[in-house]
Amino acid sequence: MAISLRCETHVGAIPDVPNGEKPIDRASVAAASADVSLIPPGPFGTDIGVPNAVALMSGARAGAAATSFPDAGKGIDMAKIDYALFSQRCGAMFIDALLVNTVGLVITLATGGLGFLVIVAYYVVCLSRVGGGRTLGCRALGLRLVDQDTGELISLSRAFVWWLVAVIAGVVSWLWFFSDRKKRMLHNIASRSVVING
């Protein structure tokens, strides 16, 4: 059952004022009519239909959210980012290799393969949006892996591509860093990602 709220004022239909009562201010009534007319019409002329009322309230909430959180749901400004230096990335890799790979090697020797899966899961999860785009080494040096175009965190599948190409290409992947404008290595190019400060 459709429900609507009627908010209409007819200036021309104001009745005569009986003797002894305060006259009606026609200018105030006209101003009120003008305010009501600004509301989008519903399905019955000047009626404010329930869908329109809901839309108005939703728009107000969305506007308030946009004012309070201007960057909500968006990536960073790619025109102002600070790409990680080669020395920073080497430092992050050293920390990860020292902590994680050593632990993974011990688990591998003890269990016969489980440690390898732990290492893969560590890099894939940490470098994706699930882990905030940061390994322990990245956190220590204030680095983050993000999408090269939007600045948003990447998916698990793209983080896996990052790890796979990094392992297969090895040191060769790092050579791209010195010629790429965005300071990407081959595994960054393959996963469409960049490493930034922040």
Compute mean pLDDT per 10 residues along the chain, 198 residues long, and list them: 45 49 52 45 45 43 37 58 95 93 85 85 96 96 96 97 96 94 96 95
User: What is the domain range of residue 139?
Assistant: 78-197
Asked if residue 161 belongs to a domain, the reply is yes
Residues 63 and 93 in one domain: no
Distance spanning both ends of the chain, measured CA to CA: 54
Q: What is the DSSP letter of 195?
A: E
Quick one: pLDDT at residue 94?
Answer: 95
pTM of the model: 0.60
Residues 186 and 99 in one domain: yes
Two tokens, residue 156: 């698990």
Residues 181 and 114 in one domain: yes
Quick one: pLDDT at residue 112?
Answer: 75
Asked if residue 73 belongs to a domain, the reply is no
Residues 160 and 108 in one domain: yes
Residues 92 and 49 in one domain: no
Q: How would you write 69-97 as a 3-class SS string?
A: CCCCCCCCCHHHCCECCHHHHHHHHHHHH
Quick one: pLDDT at residue 169?
Answer: 95
Residues 189 and 147 in one domain: yes
